[in-house]
């Protein structure tokens, strides 16, 4: 049995774990790995290593930091297949999907290599007589990231490249369900020349999370996961005077207007609803066709496409969709399908009976693509984030009905509209109360030089991931007012000082 442990100060670290947990291959249901669950002492060790490394790293030139990240970028580029294979083996997503994850993470590394530009401040000359003023950005110190199982490489890379580029040291607590990708990232950063202690990995569960939230030397926490945990992270972190950005759950709607290209919309829905088995916070889980005619035509196109889904392990490169991450999560998704039937939705395609025909994969955690019609807002399959391959169709009569539906949901992460009408698209993009919007784009994840974040119960905190919001989150400003005397002397001044 292979033990997956921590990475601290440039080397693997066994620590004194509080326990161990099996790591499964979702495609087969088998396990030959265990992950160490960090004790509070292990977390303290990682934070101490980061704190010791920080003074030198913070004073390193932005250009030096950028060059290390650039070398790391090229390692990622050359070994993307290796990282994707590790992701697939523990998460279950197809190889091509895992490669896509690596690529989207690599884009943030590319953005972070612009560190010399990102850290530029502001300067004003002669704000008063003989007085200049400057604003600079400085790193916070030790920052931490707590990341989910669904993107074991991409979400950490949403966080740490910008944190490192801006001069912080980083402690990563990845999901204990698929922990191995984090160690590859750590090893490759060291290979790229990152000084020991600047990037550290602590495996673990709630004990490790709470230790990071409570540690006085951790200045900021980034998190991606479910809304209840995001709210917990934000509340406890803020109570300990940390800067916190916690991204939570989602229930993303896609509006299909009567003038939309229905073939394009159906194909977009297939990838957005069933890609990565629906285990994406930006997955489209609610289709909102406007008028019954559009709904009927859309479903007519979707049903044969769902039936044709190739569901299998990443080892079969022709697979469209892999298994869910654990048996427990598979059972949770199935329980939502059961609930949808009980609550009166029409089950058009039932994924509960799917059995993997490939020999050796019969015990994997598979659920087939599932489609509900005539879903109503009071049903749990509409209200809750299922995080599985379940698409709900909620019919609406008018554009405004569709907008009101979206505005009535407590999640507001991402949304999309499919239409040929520019006026409708522009109104939707401007007026919809959701953080990320796609127009004829089903999964509107921003590029790395923009920022990722939702609204309402999909986010806790005042910032967003990567882009310039990531720079702002990982730095604090310092403003210096400078006077260089020319030999003149002034009397004491007891009124409010003015510089003009």
pLDDT values of the chain reduced to their tens digit, one per residue, 500 residues:
899 999 999 999 999 888 999 999 999 999 999 999 999 999 999 999 999 999 999 999 999 999 999 999 999 999 999 999 999 999 999 999 999 999 999 999 999 999 889 899 999 999 888 899 999 999 999 999 999 999 999 999 999 999 999 999 999 999 999 999 999 999 999 999 999 999 999 999 999 999 999 999 999 999 999 999 999 999 999 999 999 999 999 999 999 999 999 999 999 999 999 999 999 999 999 999 999 999 999 999 999 999 999 999 999 999 999 999 999 999 999 999 999 999 999 999 999 989 999 999 999 999 999 999 999 999 999 999 999 999 999 999 999 999 999 999 999 999 999 999 999 999 999 999 999 999 999 999 999 999 999 999 999 999 999 999 999 999 999 999 998 877 666 677 777 777 66
CA distance 432 to 429: 6
Question: Which residues, in sequence order, are bridge partners of residue 223?
Answer: 146, 246
Question: Which residues, in sequence order, are bridge partners of residue 486?
Answer: none
Instruction: Please say whether the beta carbons of 176 and 205 come within 8 A.
Output: yes
Tokens of 440: 């004829």
**Residue among 213, 129, 111, 212 nearest 166 (CA):** 111
| pLDDT score, position 500 | 60
Cβ atoms within 10 Å of 126's Cβ, excluding its own: 10
Query: Which DSSP symbol is given to 276?
Result: G
Query: Which DSSP symbol is given to 275?
Result: G
Angle at 217 between CA 211 and CA 220, to 5 degrees: 80
Instruction: Please say whether the beta carbons of 458 and 248 come within 8 A.
Output: yes
| pLDDT score, position 129 | 83
How far, in Å, are 40, 45, 485 from residue 173 at the CA level? Answer: 13, 13, 51
**Residue among 76, 67, 309 nearest 185 (CA):** 76
Question: Which residues, in sequence order, are bridge partners of residue 397?
Answer: none
Cβ atoms within 10 Å of 190's Cβ, excluding its own: 18
| pLDDT score, position 492 | 79
- With a CB cutoff of 8 Å and minimum separation 6, the contacts of 259 are 419, 420, 421
| pLDDT score, position 113 | 96
**Residue among 393, 389, 387 nearest 413 (CA):** 387
| Residues 59-83: tens digit of each pLDDT | 999 999 999 999 999 999 999 999 9
Angle at 273 between CA 276 and CA 438, to 5 degrees: 110
| pLDDT score, position 17 | 85
CA distance 384 to 391: 12
Q: Is 281 a catalytic residue?
A: yes
- With a CB cutoff of 8 Å and minimum separation 6, the contacts of 480 are 133, 134, 135, 136
Kindly provide the residue ranges of all beta strands, DSSP E only, lying in 194-306, ordered along the sequence. 199-201, 218-224, 243-247, 252-256, 284-289
203 backbone dihedrals φ, ψ, rounded to 5°: -80, 155
| Residues 363-393: tens digit of each pLDDT | 999 999 999 999 999 999 999 999 999 999 9
Token pair 């991204």 is at which residue?
A: 247
Q: What is the largest CA-CA distance in the chain?
A: 90
Instruction: Please say whether the beta carbons of 379 and 345 come within 8 A.
Output: yes
Half-sphere exposure of 388 (CA within 13 A, CB side): 30
Q: Which residue spans of the chain are classified as CATH 3.40.605.10?
A: 2-248+458-480
Tokens of 206: 């709630």
Catalytic residue among 257, 281, 333, 459: 281
Instruction: Please say whether the beta carbons of 389 and 336 come within 8 A.
Output: no
Does domain 2-248+458-480 sit in CATH 3.40.605.10?
yes
| pLDDT score, position 341 | 98
CA distance 316 to 474: 41
| pLDDT score, position 486 | 74
| pLDDT score, position 496 | 75
How far, in Å, are 32, 120, 134, 135, 351 from residue 125 at the CA level? Answer: 64, 16, 9, 12, 67
Tokens of 423: 């006026």
Q: Which residue spans of the chain are classified as CATH 3.40.309.10?
A: 252-439
How far, in Å, are 46, 50, 230 from residue 41 at the CA level? Answer: 9, 14, 24
Angle at 323 between CA 321 and CA 329, to 5 degrees: 130
Instruction: Tell me the CATH number of domain 252-439, given options 3.60.21.10, 3.40.50.2300, 3.40.50.720, 3.40.309.10.
Output: 3.40.309.10
| pLDDT score, position 128 | 85
Q: Which helix (H) or strand (E) holds 235?
A: helix 227-239
Angle at 203 between CA 162 and CA 20, to 5 degrees: 170
Query: Which DSSP symbol is given to 18?
Result: S
Tokens of 242: 């940390």
| pLDDT score, position 115 | 86
Give percent helix, percent strand, percent coil of the chain, each to the nearest 5: 40, 25, 40
């Amino acid at each position: 049995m292979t033990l997956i442990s921590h990475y601290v100060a440039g080397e693997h670290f066994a620590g004194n774990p509080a326990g161990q947990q099996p790591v499964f291959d979702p495609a087969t249901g088998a396990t030959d790995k265990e992950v160490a669950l960090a004790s509070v002492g292990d977390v303290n060790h990682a934070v101490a290593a980061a704190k010791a490394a920080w003074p030198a790293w913070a004073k390193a030139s932005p250009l030096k930091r950028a060059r290390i990240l650039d070398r790391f970028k090229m390692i990622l580029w050359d070994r993307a297949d290796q990282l994707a294979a590790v992701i697939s083996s523990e998460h279950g997503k197809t190889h091509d999907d895992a490669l896509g994850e690596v690529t989207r993470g690599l884009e943030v590394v590319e953005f972070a290599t612009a560190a010399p530009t990102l850290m530029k401040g502001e300067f004003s000359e002669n704000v008063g007589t003989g007085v200049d003023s400057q604003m600079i950005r400085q790193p916070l110190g030790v920052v931490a990231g707590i990341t989910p199982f669904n993107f074991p490489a991409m979400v950490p890379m949403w966080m740490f490249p910008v944190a490192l580029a801006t001069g912080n040291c980083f402690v990563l607590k990845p999901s204990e369900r698929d922990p191995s990708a984090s160690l590859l990232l750590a090893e490759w950063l060291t290979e790229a020349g990152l000084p020991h202690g600047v990037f550290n990995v602590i495996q673990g569960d709630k004990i490790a999370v709470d230790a990071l939230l409570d540690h006085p030397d951790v200045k900021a926490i980034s998190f991606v996961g479910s809304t209840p945990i995001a709210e917990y992270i934000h509340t406890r972190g803020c109570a300990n005077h940390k800067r916190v950005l916690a991204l939570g759950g989602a229930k993303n709607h896609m509006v299909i207007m009567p003038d939309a290209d229905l073939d394009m919309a159906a194909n977009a829905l297939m990838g957005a609803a069933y890609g990565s088995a629906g285990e994406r916070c930006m997955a489209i889980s609610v289709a909102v066709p406007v008028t019954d005619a559009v709904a009927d035509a859309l479903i007519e196109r979707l049903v044969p496409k769902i039936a044709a889904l190739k569901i299998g392990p990443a080892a079969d490169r022709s697979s469209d969709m892999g298994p869910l991450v654990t048996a427990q999560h598979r059972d949770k998704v199935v329980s939502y399908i059961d609930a949808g039937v009980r609550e009166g939705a029409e089950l058009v395609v039932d994924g509960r009976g799917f059995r993997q025909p490939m020999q050796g994969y019969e015990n994997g955690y598979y659920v087939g693509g599932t489609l509900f019609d005539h879903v109503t807002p009071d049903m749990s399959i509409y209200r809750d984030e299922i995080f599985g391959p379940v698409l709900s169709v909620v019919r609406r009569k008018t554009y405004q009905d569709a907008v009101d539906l979206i505005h009535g949901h407590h999640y507001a992460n991402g949304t999309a509209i499919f239409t040929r009408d520019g006026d409708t698209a522009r109104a939707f993009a401007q007026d919809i109360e959701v953080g990320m919007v796609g127009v004829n784009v089903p999964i509107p994840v921003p590029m790395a030089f923009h920022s990722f974040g939702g609204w309402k119960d999909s986010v806790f905190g005042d910032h967003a991931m990567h882009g310039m919001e990531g720079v702002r989150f990982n730095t604090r400003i310092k403003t210096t007012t400078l006077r260089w005397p020319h030999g003149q002397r002034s009397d004491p001044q007891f009124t409010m000082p003015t510089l003009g």
